[in-house]
């Protein structure tokens, strides 16, 4: 059981996700950051679906568990699209957006096929062990892709504050989720740690995006040299 604290965080996360879409709508960047908003809107819908199934069948029911993990996989795919949108924004001046989209789609298809083959071979144990491994792999691939994007931002000396903060917060989100799934895979008994990490990440990401959308406009810039952990 997650407890009242967990439920509060869950509700807070859903409200914040809806706020991201509303802020984006009013501040103007809805079209430019369409894939990010699509992910947040999907996340709100998924949370509503989870709540309906949770109230009808309970937290430990197989219906809820199936819905939770399948919807999580769909949300991760939406997050890949969000990442693809960020790649398109960063590389729009280099004219390689189409190649990047093809590469990322192939990577996504490859990860999905790999995950499907793992699930197909172990259908009976899917929810006990392998689904955790699949989520862990999906989040880890997302983390690697975000890290590559971050390295590209530094290399290209990208200075748009909004883009930088969105990419870094997304990197933190992927890192927390990949780490929590890996921890869950390795130490299933440490539930008190891995059960709360994705909830905390789910609250952090919309807060960081609301901050980026509300505080800075698209032209706000900073010196890229200030961002590298090791001064250049």
How many binding residues for other proteins (CB under 8 A)? 36
Nearest to 75 by CA among 106, 48, 114, 93: 48
186 binds other proteins (CB under 8 A): yes
- DSSP single-letter state for residue 223: -
60 binds other proteins (CB under 8 A): no
- Nearest-approach distance from CB 231 to other proteins, in angstroms: 8
Please answer whether residues 152 and 181 qualify as being in contact, where contact means their C-beta atoms are separated by less than 8 angstroms.
no
- The dihedral of CA 191, 194, 199, 200: what is its sign? positive
Q: How far apart are CA 140 and CA 179, in angstroms?
A: 8
Helix (H/G/I), strand (E/B), else coil: 222: coil
Q: How far apart are CA 193 and CA 41, in angstroms?
A: 28
Q: Of 30, 73, 172, 195, which one interacts with other proteins (CB under 8 A)?
A: 172
- Nearest-approach distance from CB 168 to other proteins, in angstroms: 4
CB nearer other proteins, residue 1 or residue 228: 228
22 binds other proteins (CB under 8 A): no
Q: Of 14, 90, 149, 176, which one interacts with other proteins (CB under 8 A)?
A: 176
Binding mask 195-224 for other proteins (x = CB under 8 A): ------------xx--x--xxx---x-xx-
Residue 21, burial from CB neighbour count under 10 angstroms (0-12, 13-18, 19+): buried
Binding mask 94-133 for other proteins (x = CB under 8 A): ---------------------------------------x
Q: How far apart are CA 58 and CA 173, in angstroms?
A: 27
Contact footprint for other proteins (CB under 8 A): 133, 136, 140, 143, 147, 150, 161, 164-165, 168-169, 171-172, 175-176, 178-179, 181-183, 185-186, 207-208, 211, 214-216, 220, 222-223, 226-229, 231
């Amino acid at each position: 059981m997650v407890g009242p604290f967990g439920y509060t965080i869950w509700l807070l996360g859903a409200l914040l996700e809806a706020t991201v879409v509303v802020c984006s709508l009013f501040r103007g960047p809805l079209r430019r950051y369409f894939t990010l908003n699509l992910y947040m809107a999907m996340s709100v819908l998924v949370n509503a679906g989870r709540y309906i199934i949770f109230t009808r069948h309970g937290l430990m029911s197989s219906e809820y568990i199936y819905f939770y993990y399948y919807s999580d996989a769909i949300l991760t795919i939406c997050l890949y699209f969000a990442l693809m949108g960020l790649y398109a924004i960063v590389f729009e001046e280099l004219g390689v957006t189409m190649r990047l989209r093809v590469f990322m789609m192939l990577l996504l298809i490859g990860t999905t096929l790999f995950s499907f083959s793992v699930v197909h071979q172990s259908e009976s144990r899917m929810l006990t062990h392998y689904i955790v491994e699949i989520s862990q792999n999906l989040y880890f691939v997302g983390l690697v892709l975000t890290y590559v994007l971050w390295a590209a931002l530094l290399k290209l000396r990208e200075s748009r504050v909004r883009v930088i903060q969105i990419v870094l917060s997304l990197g933190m989100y992927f890192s927390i989720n990949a780490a929590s799934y890996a921890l869950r895979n390795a130490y299933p008994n440490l539930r008190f740690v891995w059960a709360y990490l994705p909830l905390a990440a789910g609250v952090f990401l919309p807060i960081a995006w609301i901050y980026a959308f509300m505080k800075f406009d698209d032209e706000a810039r900073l010196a890229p040299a200030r961002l590298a952990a090791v001064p250049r």
